[in-house]
Structure 1
Amino acid sequence: FSITAKEQYFIPGTEDTRLNNACNSDPVCPPKCRCESNVVDCSNLKLTKVPEHIPSSTSELRLNNNDITTLEATGAFKSLSQLKKIIRFTLLTQRFSLYSNLSNNKITEIEDGAFEGASSVIELHLTANQIDSVRSGMFRGLEGLRMMMLRNNKISCVHNDSFTGLHNVRLLSLYDNQLTTITPGAFDTLQALSTLNLLANSFNCDCRLAWLGDWLRSRKIVTGNPRCQRPGFLKEIPLQDVALPDFRCDEGQEESSCVPRPQCPSECTCLETVVRCSNKHLHALPKGIPRNVTELPVIVPAAALPHSRSQCSPTTIARERPCSCAQAVLALEALMEVAVLPGGHSGLAVSRYLDGNQFSIVPKELSGFKYLQLVDLSNNRINSLTNSSFSNMSQLTTLILSYNSLRCIPKMAFGGLHSLRLLSLHGNEISELPDGIFNDVTSLSHLAIGANPLYCDCRLRWLSDWVKTGYKEPGIARCAGPQGMEGKLLLTTPAKKFECTGDVDPEVLAKCNPCLSSPCLNQGVCQSDLMEIYRCSCPPGFKGKNCETALNACVSNPCANGGTCRVDEEEEGEYICKCPLGFEGPTCQTNADDCEDHDCENGATCVDGVNNYTCFCPPYYTGEMCEEMEDVCAPERSPCKHQSTCLITPTGPKCVCSPGYVGDDCSVDYNDCGDHRCQNGAQCIDELNGYSCVCHQGYSGQLCEVPPSPLSLCELADCQNNAPCVERGGRALCQCPPEFGGPRCEKLVSVNFVDRDSYLLLSDPKNWPQANITLQVSTAEDNGILLYNGDNDHIAVELYQGHVKVSYDPGSQPGHAIYSTETINDGQFHTVELVTYDQMVNLSIDGGLPTTMDSFGAVRTLNGEAPLYVGG
């Protein structure tokens, strides 16, 4: 007993368990399928495609009775090296959203290479489908196949390329198809064929089948006796029994090829691979469009085209034969009548024109056309895209969506379009695009986005930067807002201009958030819907796009002010309101006017109420109807002031004022100074029923009419600072205290300091820096400030170790200083004299020889605005 290195990791039958070895991260069994003893049964599950994650040890795969429409070339069989049998693809087509009558169709297409990697499969059952032709590419990868069951399909012809590569097939069943002819050599590639079933077919035994009778007789591998059905004289005659001369053709029918001709929908006209379905008022894509279609061209007058094409110019389109285009085109432009793209399309189609129709959304079936290179959906009514509108179109290079009604595009609408080079969004209603919407379109070199109301605030700055990289936009797109950005080009406007300076226009926000404007009425709930812009979920009793229509006319309580609603039995959807007293109108919205016949008196104002009215009385009247006059002169209500007399009159109270008062209520004291007789500038003071005069100094009398007596010389001298005055020689002399001087002793000439921290501040020294300052100093201190002036550049006089030091610092120049030879800190009074003149300073102590400091060079003038400090 031995085991190889490869075999030791696989033991047949282990993969039918639900829990796999911890080292195996692959799923053991596809969801909903049943797995047992290497058999994967996925039948009767309504699958639409071959499931993923099929166990690699699978030897039999059952996919019968599902909803798979197309067997795609996904490489699903490349990992199934143990697969031996694929049981009956009895595949029902999936339902399309519009036509339920397509639900019972069967599989029609197997993509080339769908079985790549399935070289171990020995049995393939494709019974009971609607396969109408076979080609070698369908079965590429089935080199080990031994049994092929193609029973009960619609195959009409077998040609010499149908089974190329199937060297090991031993049993081939074409029972119950629609075979009419078989090309000579059709089975030559089936070198191992030993059993062939051709029964239940409609063979046309003309000259093209003459070879088959001899071949069947020589090979002896046919099951039963396949019989002729045409021409009439050979009907039901076994093929092997027909004499060679009876296999004859009419003149012109000798062609031996049976390569399938493209079928053509009845609504269209076909020429080779060109199918025309223009202006047919289609509501669905016609059935039976050929798999290899390359063009479905449109015949449109040149003047009717909105813009020219690089492949087909307007002047060449309107002609009898289709124009020759450089690449495949799917054009769905100027669509007038079509609501959705119908079913029955082929994943192999790479070009299509369906003009003269009307699309409001991108048909979801488009995603099945994997080989499309150009899609033109211009001149439609498409108002929105979804993230799956163009899914699976990895080969798409040109997408034209111009002249539609696009308002909002989701971020992943162009996801996966790696080959896209040209995108036209021209002529829509787009105001903004999400950042990152072009992340997947790495090949995009041309973007047409002109004729859109672009809102160029900071949220669209990324687009401006993006189009400037490689000049992807030709300089046509312009901004429509916000204010200040109107008309500016997206390509050339600096990115810094894209600013968010205020609230965004609500109409712009509503394009991608239509619920922002609260369109749903009657408490309906708004939900964004890419297909319908928005959708309202209406509360019970309402319907309509905006929940505006009431199912029961009374459900919205239309009667106001407590009115009772009753459904009108004569008019559908109408109601009748029974109003309470005091209200009238269709919905009881009007309060009846009870003031039309009121009894208010004395000019009172009538105010309407509910089934009543109220009288608002004018001043001085009271009562329900304002019929009584009030006692306005009662003590607590009289308006008269200052003991005035109150009189009742028809117009209200009247005041008779006491002497000295005036005004309607006698509150104003009469100003007796209005015509006073005070003299000599005297001030008049108003008093009750009179006035008095306040005289200036020296004047007297009731009216200040008596002038003052003459003043003495000393009274006129005005000596200040408490200086006494004496008259000598006919003039007044002010005797100043020691520290004051001047004619009136108004000048401070000396200051005595007693406290050690005392100082004198002169805020405006005269003639500084030309000055003569003398200080009487008595101190025992060694150091201290005697005088200081300046801020940045200063002069200072100070005690330094008992000597007098004068220093001068001009700021940018080196400082200067001089010292006295004498010391003055002996407690005696010393005279310090300082003379300054421009750049020169003289210092003298007690009248001795001066010490001079002369500043050489350019010296700044000292700051005369800085205060001068003495002492401190």
Structure 2
Amino acid sequence: MAPRAGQLGLQGLLLVAAALSQPAAPCPFQCYCFGGPKLLLRCASGAELRQPPRDVPPDARNLTIVGANLTVLRAAAFAGGDGDGDKAAGVRLPLLSALRLTHNHIEVVEDGAFDGLPSLAALDLSHNPLRALGGGAFRGLPALRSLQLNHALVRGGPALLVALDTALAPLAELRLLGLAGNALSRLPPAALRLARLEQLDVRHNALVGLGPDELRALERDGGLPGPRLLLADNPLRCGCAARPLLAWLRNATERVPDARRLRCAAPRALLDRPLLDLDGARLRCADSGADARGEEAEAAGPELEASYVFFGLVLALIGLIFLMVLYLNRRGIQRWMRNLREACRDQMEGYHYRYEQDADPRRAPAPAAPAGSRATSPGSGL
């Protein structure tokens, strides 16, 4: 029995070691998961969860809530606030460094919603239909380095973007900001003012270009490198307004890792053409009455040459078809030419016969008698 017990104990230790050595699995949907350096990943049902869970141990390092119905994140929601207006709360999760709150139907984030999380370095609020964001929503996150708001700002409108500018201002340590899929028509000014920002993700938005002010804001004083910019899958308008962006891209290609994926959405002549393949000197506005972004057109160049080539190919095709028609109807054409030649010959023979008749003096008509002379018969003897 003793050897068997020892064998079972050894197997148990091996299983525990294997479990600890494997990376934690992602949290299943409609669950909340938490883990720490001495805790195995645990998961509990979160489908009916309407406020942050209270059973997270104080030494947890990461917390993931997916598929819940949080709707409103009140002040100090993760620091022991009761969710009924009591905002006085202490530090309940002092070691929490990563908080993921995706797909939780969050619509409102109040001021101080993340108070009491002094060690939080990564916050993910992506895929939530945010409508309102407090200007002090992130005020209690002095160590925050990564903030993800992808597909979270679409329903809020301009007021939410103004609130976002206010909420981003105190995040002095922020390194990574994700704003993909939010239908943004401009870059948030507060994001461009973050001194330590290293990467700004604005893919899948509604940016038609970057203005001179935005490009200047991307360049920092003192020669410090500005943030990397992910800009792909935006409806860029490639015209005169794109000249500053094109020049900036060519001087700082390493700052835009997806620069080769940038393609034109307008004008129609340049649809889906890579932005970096354009010649900045040839980009011009179509007319002086264009809007601020400019109604663009590229001067006659490769497109015009392509039009001439296409026109030549069409003419060549028409000529080839004409020659094929002639070849297929060669017998009829020969018959028609023969009939035409015979008709011409008959006509010329008629002209020739009449000419011979007129040239024979014996067949020429007698000249008319002069006026006043008397006609005499042959036998009159006169």
Where on the TM-score scale, by shorter chain, does this alignment land: which range? 0.3 to 0.5
Q: Which protein has greater RCO, CA pairs closer than 8 Å, 6+ apart?
A: 2
Larger fraction in strand: 1
Give the alignment's TM-score, normalised by structure 2. 0.45
Greater per-residue helix proportion: 2
Q: Which has the larger radius of gyration?
A: 1
